Amino acid sequence: MNSLVLRPVIRRTGLLRDLPKAFAPQFAPFTSLSRPPPNYEGHVPLTVPERGLLAVGSAVISLLNPRRGDLIAALGEATATPYFIYRLRDAMLSSPTGRRILKDRPRINSTTMSMEKLRKLPDGTVGREYVAWLDKEGVSPDTRSQVRYIDDPECAYVMQRYRECHDFYHALTGLPIIVEGEVALKAFEFANTLIPMTGLSMFALARLRAEERRRALTMYFPWAIRNGLQAKEVINIYWEEELETDVEELRKRIGLEKPPDLRKIRAELKAQKKAEKTVRESVEH
Amino acid sequence: MSARPVSRGLLSAASSKHLRSIVPRVAAFHSITPKNDQSNSEPVTHFGFQTVKASLKATKVAEVFSSVASSYDTMNDVMSFGIHRLWKDHFVRSLNPGRRPGGQPMSILDVAGGTGDIAFRMLDHSEKVNGDRETTVLCTDINADMLREGEKRAIQGGYDSNRISFCVENAETLESIPDNSIDLYTISFGIRNVTSIPKALKSAHRVLKPGGVFACLEFSKVSPAPLDAIYQQYSFSIIPLMGQLVAGDRDSYQYLVESIKRFPSQSEFARMIKDAGLANVGKGYEELTFGVASIWKGVKPLE
């Protein structure tokens, strides 16, 4: 493995330093009949076998039915411990902006992010790109489920923050919400945040057509891994403060290149195929 | 009914409308389509006092609820490994609804009947075993959406509207049902959701004819103790998890297993039935599958 990948990987994972802490159990052993009281609203402490079952079940069902966003979220929570969510939380603690986010615990939903105000921002700003992307793809910031299966309240917030920022990552990279775009973005997120669910999402490649899969593997994955590792941790971006920043400037600041425009490529290929088809049909007649 | 947009309901695959419906709803059981729609030549059927068009024109709400209802059906199968079907079949067979030779057709009331599981079985049994197409079933529920789904299934199943009708009712009061009018009162997996069980039993006593039968199918206490320990573990661990995976709704199924735990034991409930004035049949109950479910029967005494 070349050093361009190895050094950032070692830096990103910090395994040797964090191993003992990350495996410490949160609760004394308990059973499903004697669950400890919740640590935050909606919290459900799960036993290890329950977490395993939830992980396996949600992985299988969400692969077969990708519209079950709630199960993709549950998979993320079930596989976040041990280690991975603690590493992400520590990455936030190591950065001044990350520490501020953890202190303020801002939430992203249609109440805290006024869509009307964002639409009035100048083109090319983060806020404008975000709301333009939401409008184009027809999604709303209110569709994210609450974190329930992570025991530490601070880590639960970190997961919630990651989930709510996902749409901003879409806006930052310009990747669309079709399966191809999601898989490319998840690959980037895995290289950057190391959340296991993002890595497990690579199984969704099986749902793509051969041509899309080839494009994902040859064009988007190298982009995702290279940028995911060399860019700064996107979890540390205080989005609420960056709404009026120019998108290009933000990308430069965190060290991210914009990937090829997927929708444009697909549209061009579709137009090309259509043109070839009409030529073929006119030749036949 | 729910404030959430329809599309979100589809993606989350379920809502907890059904299991949390304890609060009585004002009887606002509106018909799905406007009554005087002359422009459409689709056949209409009458259900009780409502006019309902064929299910092709079901509203978006009804469609959303169908997907919710079907995930609840799937959950019933997943939780009980399909055994709930056997319980319901046995329940209906042991009651033997339908006209006896030389007798009158029955008037049956199925309370908390929701989507019509028991009601349809009653009609089928009456017709196929007792050759009786005149026995009627009134299917009531506190939740209008469940009833709407039941109506749809009745149309799909080809059940005549003069044999089955649907009506919103609170099991504790049964307001629109006259005294001494029902031959057979059934309540299947519904009484544990009622706020005051004694009130529901008193209403049952009121609407039954003298000599009429009260029958209840409900979850009960498992014995022996080692089996119960396994059952409890399964209930509190697996069932809410399956609720999350299959129906996208952990909370409703957590409520379900807690309400099963809270329900009185077999003999306690048999005593409550006796206290409401319905004479116990034998020891009052019959256990199914080691006590996971039980059938209680009571008879309203002749004067």
The residue that leads in pLDDT, B28 or A144, is A144
Question: Do B232 and B246 sit in the same domain of this protein?
Answer: yes
d(CA B121, CA A59): 38
Q: Does B61 lie in the same domain as B29?
A: yes
**B6-10, B68-72, B99-103: least confident range:** B6-10
Q: Which pLDDT score, from 0 to 100, does residue A3 have?
A: 55
Least trusted range by pLDDT, from A42-56, A235-249, B15-29, B115-129: B15-29
What residue of B is the nearest CA neighbor of A51? B241
Q: Are residues B50 and B184 in the same domain?
A: no
> Same domain, yes or no, for B251 and B103?
no
> Is the confidence at residue B40, as pLDDT, over 50?
no
pLDDT digits (tens, 9 = 90+) for B266-280: 999 999 999 999 999
| Whether B123 and B270 share a structural domain | yes
User: A9 pLDDT band (50/70/90 cuts)?
Assistant: low
Across chain A, what does the average pLDDT equal?
87
Q: With both helix axes pointing from N to C terminus, report the angle between B144-156 and B117-130 in degrees, rounded to the nearest 10.
A: 30
Residue B59 reports pLDDT greater than 60: no
| pLDDT at residue A211, rounded to an integer | 87
Interval A45-103: pLDDT, tens: 999 999 999 999 999 999 998 888 899 999 999 999 888 999 999 999 999 999 999 99
Domain membership of residue B21 (yes or no) is: yes
3-state class (DSSP) for residue B215: strand
What percentage of residues in chain B have a pLDDT greater than 90? 62
Quote the pLDDT of residue B56.
41
| H-only helix segments in B15-143 | 17-20, 60-80, 83-95, 117-130
Instruction: State the residue for tokens 């996208």.
Output: B248
Average model confidence (pLDDT) across chain B: 81
What six digits make up the tokens of B203?
A: 């209403």
Q: Nearest CA to A198 among A56, A46, A84? A: A84
Which contiguous run of DSSP H or E holds residue B138?
Answer: strand B136-141
Please indicate if any CB of chain B lies within 8 Å of the CB of A44: yes
More confident site: B147 or B42? B147
Please state the domain count of chain B.
2
Range of the domain at B19: 3-69+223-261
What integer pLDDT is reported at residue A14 of this predicted model?
61
How sure is the predictor about B41, in pLDDT bands with cuts at 50, 70 and 90? low
Residue predicted with more confidence, A137 or B286: B286
Cβ-Cβ contacts under 8 Å, A74 against chain B: 244
- Cross-chain residue pair A31–B241, CB shorter than 8 Å: no
Do residues A176 and A266 make contact, with C-beta atoms less than 8 angstroms apart? no
Q: Looking at the structure, tell me whether residues B94 and B203 fall in a common domain.
A: yes
**Domain check: are B142 and B183 in the same one?**
yes
CB of B218 within 8 A of CB of B192? yes
B58 by DSSP, 3-state: which? coil
Chain A: closest CA distance from residue B264 (Å) = 19
How far is CA A97 from each of CA A12, A166, A238, rounded to the nearest angstrom? 17, 18, 7
Residues B7 and B137 in one domain: no
Q: Is residue B143 part of a domain?
A: yes
Q: Do A32 and B245 touch (CB under 8 A)?
A: no
B184 with B249, same domain? no
Q: State the smallest CA–CA distance between residue B85 and chain A in angstroms.
A: 25
Position A260 pLDDT exceeds 70: yes
Model confidence band, residue A26 (pLDDT cutoffs 50, 70, 90): low
Question: How do strand B208-219 and strand B182-188 relate by DSSP bridges?
Answer: parallel
Q: Quote the CA–CA distance of B35 and B56 in Å, as a whole number.
A: 16
Beginning with the edge strand found earlier in the chain, give each strand of the sheet holding B164-168 in spatial order. Answer: B164-168, B136-141, B107-111, B182-188, B208-219, B293-299, B279-288
Least confident of B29-33, B67-71, B200-204: B29-33
Q: What is the pLDDT of residue A90?
A: 93
Kindly report the pTM of this predicted structure. Answer: 0.78
B6 pLDDT band (50/70/90 cuts)?
very low
Spatial separation of the C-alpha atoms in residues A104 and A258, rounded to whole Å: 30
**pLDDT bucket at B114, cuts 50 / 70 / 90:** confident
Decide: helix, strand or coil at residue B157.
coil
* pLDDT grade for B2, boundaries at 50, 70 and 90: very low
Tell me the sheet residues that pair with B53. B44
pLDDT band at B17 (very low <50, low <70, confident <90, very high): very low
Residue in B with minimal Cα distance to A62: B245
Mean pLDDT of B28-47: 41
Domains in chain A: boundaries: 81-278
Please tell me whether residues B97 and B55 are part of one structural domain: no
Pair (B256, B294) in one structural domain: no
What's the CATH number where B286 sits?
A: 3.40.50.150
Please write the tens of the pLDDT for every residue from B132-171.
999 999 999 988 888 988 999 999 999 988 999 999 999 9
Closest CA to A245 of A168, A157, A163: A168
CB atoms inside a 10 Å sphere around CB B34:
10
Query: Are B268 and B130 found together in one domain?
Result: yes
Here the ipTM equals: 0.82
Nearest chain A residue (CA) to B236: A32
Structure confidence at residue A23 (pLDDT): 65
* B162 sits in which H/E element: none
Candidate from A96-110, A208-222, B119-133 with smallest mean pLDDT: A208-222
What is the number of CB-based contacts under 8 A between chain A and chain B? 40
| Residue A48 touches partner B, C-beta closer than 8 Å | no
pLDDT computed for residue A25 by the predictor: 65
- Give me the mean pLDDT over the A21-36 stretch: 76
pLDDT tens profile B202-222? 999 999 999 999 999 999 999
| pLDDT of residue B34 exceeding 60 | no
Minimum Cα–Cα distance from A59: chain B residue: B245
User: Is residue B23 less than 8 Å (CB to CB) from chain A?
Assistant: no
**With 70 as the cut, is the pLDDT of residue A251 above it?**
yes
> Does residue B74 belong to any structural domain of this protein?
no
